[in-house]
Amino acid sequence: MSRDLVERWVRPEIRALAAYGVPDASGLIKLDAMENPYTWPRAMVEEWLEVLRAVPVNRYPDPAAKPLKRALVEAIGAPGGAEILLGNGSDELIQMIALALSRPGRTLLAPEPGFVMYRMIALFAGLEYVGVPLRGEDFALDMDAMRAAIERHRPAAIFLAYPNNPTGNLWDEAEIGELIALAPGLLVIDEAYAPFAQRSLLHLLGEFPNLLVMRTLSKLGLAGLRLGLLIGAPEWLGELDKVRLPYNINVLTQASAEFALAHRAVFDEQTRRVREAREALYGELRALPGIVAYPSDANFILFRVTPGEAGRVCAALREGGVLIKNLDPAGGALADCLRVTVGLPEENRVFLELLRGAL
């Protein structure tokens, strides 16, 4: 029987996992996955289709993706001397880092609650994972706990999401600087939400030999393309590049991302609107009785409802046609917490109306 063979050969830690669940969103207002709600102007779509017409899909992609990397360096303003490594989403870059550093007994460390892929990818790659709790009141770094965990585990890699997902906040820059200096191995700052934070730690790259900064085009509005980038010293990126599968960025993604970067103003305007809508939504959430909303520098807002009510509130929203993320099952600091992605003003209005009704 297959089952016996599976039990004998598939690693027990993999068998114990639940696969990364993506709920069916058909027919729903989708406010669960930090996507940009805006589409492109019609003329831009037509122009893009012209570009795609000329893409040679019978050929393998350019493995170095030089023109795309040039466009990215310019778009993000990477510091001189820094290079770029591309991933099929930043998830794939996390995987490359874990694969390159993994050895029995080595550790990957991140604050919690944090981005779930750090834990999952560590496990896939055979690294031990250590989650260090954030401060309960405001989700700031617990520096004593971080110092102690670094001392104790000597992690091969530390991941800091800036802003953090799912809490939405930026951590103190001086504290992050201290952690980079303390880290014996690599420290990766994951700036997936940079378009909404308007703050970045890219400028620290020249200061620390163990620092890499990660970005993605997903939250900017190109989640479907799957393109992430890692920025840092060529010494690190050259080694990580060896575990990259040769054609990881497909021809359609390369052509489309280059095209999109040439139309950056469109995305800048969209992210500006999302930031504006976030502030409005945060104000409305804060005013609701029985809700604690946490300030956010990303394109989502974490909020806490009355104890025991998260599942019911989430189901009522879904019943009304709005999908958000219930984080209560994760427990701990996320008990009774829900996370809503900032959508179009009209979508946010429907969400608020349903939420008011559900409370």
Ligand X SMILES: *Cc1c(COP(=O)(O)O)cnc(C)c1O
Residues engaged in binding ligand X (CB under 6 A): 34, 89-91, 115, 161, 165, 190, 192, 216, 218, 223, 228
Q: How many residues belong to the chain?
A: 359
| Residue 327, both tokens | 């984080």
3-state secondary structure at position 103: coil
CA atoms within 13 A on the CB side of 162: 24
| Residue 195, both tokens | 């378009």
- What minimum distance in Å lies between the beta carbon of 316 and ligand X? 26
- Choice between 110 and 354, CB closer to ligand X: 110
- What minimum distance in Å lies between the beta carbon of 270 and ligand X? 17
Please name the helix (run of DSSP H) or strand (run of DSSP E) that holds residue 85, with its range, or none: strand 83-87
- Choice between 38 and 47, CB closer to ligand X: 38
- What minimum distance in Å lies between the beta carbon of 228 and ligand X? 4
- Choice between 86 and 352, CB closer to ligand X: 86
CA-based nearest residue to 299, from 357, 205, 223: 223
Q: Are 107 and 113 in contact (CB under 8 A)?
A: no
- Choice between 90 and 107, CB closer to ligand X: 90
- Choice between 102 and 164, CB closer to ligand X: 164
Q: Are 158 and 117 in contact (CB under 8 A)?
A: no
CA pair distance 8, 26, nearest whole angstrom: 38
Name the maximum alpha-carbon separation found in the chain. 58
- Choice between 225 and 354, CB closer to ligand X: 225
- What minimum distance in Å lies between the beta carbon of 294 and ligand X? 15
| C-alpha distances in Å from residue 355, one per residue of 247, 280, 322 | 45, 15, 10
- What minimum distance in Å lies between the beta carbon of 97 and ligand X? 12
CA-based nearest residue to 125, from 101, 90, 93, 157: 101
- What minimum distance in Å lies between the beta carbon of 94 and ligand X? 7
CA pair distance 246, 251, nearest whole angstrom: 13
CA-based nearest residue to 161, from 115, 126, 95: 115
- Choice between 146 and 189, CB closer to ligand X: 189
Q: Are 180 and 210 in contact (CB under 8 A)?
A: yes
Q: Are 85 and 240 in contact (CB under 8 A)?
A: yes
Give Cα 100 to chain centroid, integer Å: 21
- Choice between 146 and 161, CB closer to ligand X: 161
- What minimum distance in Å lies between the beta carbon of 233 and ligand X? 21
Using CB positions, name the residue nearest to ligand X.
89
- What minimum distance in Å lies between the beta carbon of 349 and ligand X? 25
Lay out the sheet containing 83-87: strands in order across.
83-87, 228-232, 211-216, 186-190, 157-161, 107-112, 128-133
- Choice between 166 and 284, CB closer to ligand X: 166
- What minimum distance in Å lies between the beta carbon of 244 and ligand X? 15
